[in-house]
Structures are given as structure tokens and as C-alpha cells.
Amino acid sequence: EAGVAQSPRYKIIEKRQSVAFWCNPISGHATLYWYQQILGQGPKLLIQFQNNGVVDDSQLPKDRFSAERLKGVDSTLKIQPAKLEDSAVYLCASSLDLRVAASGTDTQYFGPGTRLTVL
Amino acid sequence: RKEVEQDPGPFNVPEGATVAFNCTYSNSASQSFFWYRQDCRKEPKLLMSVYSSGNEDGRFTAQLNRASQYISLLIRDSKLSDSATYLCVVKRGKNSGYSTLTFGKGTMLLVSP
């Protein structure tokens, strides 16, 4: 079974530039997540989709970050304009279901991540 | 107080040693608990779920104490390949009917020959 795909794997940009990341989840997974992992920290949830709807974007800096999952499959995360503190690994993850009552189907599978460096 | 707190690490142990990681969580409404493993420059992967009765998977034993809001992971007979960062993860429900996972900072384990 193919895992979560992400691209690009690495990106170096200057501050104030824009950047976009792409994610394709595991086939059939309804829930998709974008996480930000700063060096030395655990992953921090930015946004969570259930199919093509946003379930949680409370930690997404909406003045500069945006994300969409228009057809309920792949997703893009955009940063515009980037700041130095956005340097991090951006991880995409997917799961079958993460409703409260779900059990056994809510394991999250992560993609390899995109390592962003903002200069 | 952070929602999930772990031992700061790193833990440096020789092969064959037994090592234990501790984790505490602040939200008593948390429902499920997990340990994820993250190798250097790789993505996190589920190591094991943590159940109230405690559970074991080979050399790995996980324990949960809901009263103390405390989770642990014990690794026996450490191997070089166990070197990684171990992330404590807590799941809780939200009013939306969906759940969210909160990750700890991770504890790095270095096993040496």
C-alpha cells in the first residue's frame, strides 16, 4: 500500500517569499492533517480536514498560512509571506477516521515531510 | 502547563540496558494514548497504543495511570536500532465530534555499543 506522499522534500526561500506544499494521503483516508515540526519539538497541528471540510484550524496562523483540500483527496498548504520562524518540517498525515467514537481506525500515517528553510 | 510533557532527554544507554520514559498530560478528558517513534530526519511512526491495563509488545511495555495522568514506556534489552526520539501522544475529543492528537516534545534515546 502506498504511503502518504509529499512534495517537495526540501525548499529554501527568502523571507517574504511565498511557498506551497503538496500532500497526497493514503487512498481512502478521510482525515488529513498538516503539522509543523520545529527542530527539537514535537509536531504541532496546523489544520485538520475531514474529507474536504475543515475540522480544526485553530492553530493555523491565518494571516499568512492557508490550506485547502478541494476534492477531498490531496491537499496544499501555502505560506505567504514567509517569516524566518516558519523554518520547520511540514508534515502531512492521514487516517481513516478520527471521530471521537472511532477506535482502531484513527492511527495517523505520516508522510516524509517538507523541510523548509527561510533565509 | 503544556498539555503533554516528557522527560527532556537525551538518554544515553549501553546496549542491553533497560530504559524508561515518562510522560504526563494535563487534560483529564484525554481518551487515548500512544507512543510514536521518530528516527532522525524521518517522519513519526506509531510504536504502540497505551491501555489502562498496560500492554507489552516484545521488549516494549507501556503503562497508563489515569489517576496520576501519567504514561510510561519501558524498553528492555536496548538495541542500537532503538536509537530514536520517542513521542508521547494524547488523543482527546472536541465539541465538533472529532478528535485531535497532541504530541509531546519527544525524548531522544541513544543506544551505544
CB atoms within 10 A of CB B88: 29
Any B CB within 8 A of A50 CB: yes
Partners of residue B112 on adjacent β-strands:
B14
Q: Is the peptide bond before B10 cis (omega within 30 degrees of 0)?
A: yes
Q: Are B35 and B51 in contact (CB under 8 A)?
A: no
Q: How confident is the model at residue B93 (pLDDT cuts 50, 70, 90)?
A: confident
> B94 and A56 in contact by Cβ < 8 A?
yes
Q: Are B54 and B62 in contact (CB under 8 A)?
A: yes
Any B CB within 8 A of A113 CB: yes
Q: Return the pLDDT at A104.
A: 56
Whether the pLDDT of residue B17 is over 70: the answer is yes
Mean pLDDT taken over chain B: 93
Any B CB within 8 A of A104 CB: no
Q: Are A49 and A32 in contact (CB under 8 A)?
A: yes
Q: Are B35 and B50 in contact (CB under 8 A)?
A: yes
Q: What is the pLDDT of residues A93-106, one digit of tens each?
A: 998 876 655 555 57
Who contacts A26 (Cβ-Cβ below 8 Å, separation ≥6)? A1, A2, A3, A4, A94, A109
User: What percentage of residues in chain B have a pLDDT greater than 70?
Assistant: 100
Q: Return the pLDDT at A98.
A: 63
> B105 and A99 in contact by Cβ < 8 A?
no
Q: How confident is the model at residue B10 (pLDDT cuts 50, 70, 90)?
A: very high
Between A97 and B57, name the one with better pLDDT. Answer: B57
Q: How confident is the model at residue A71 (pLDDT cuts 50, 70, 90)?
A: confident
User: What percentage of residues in chain B have a pLDDT greater than 90?
Assistant: 75
> A42 and B31 in contact by Cβ < 8 A?
no
Q: How confident is the model at residue A92 (pLDDT cuts 50, 70, 90)?
A: very high
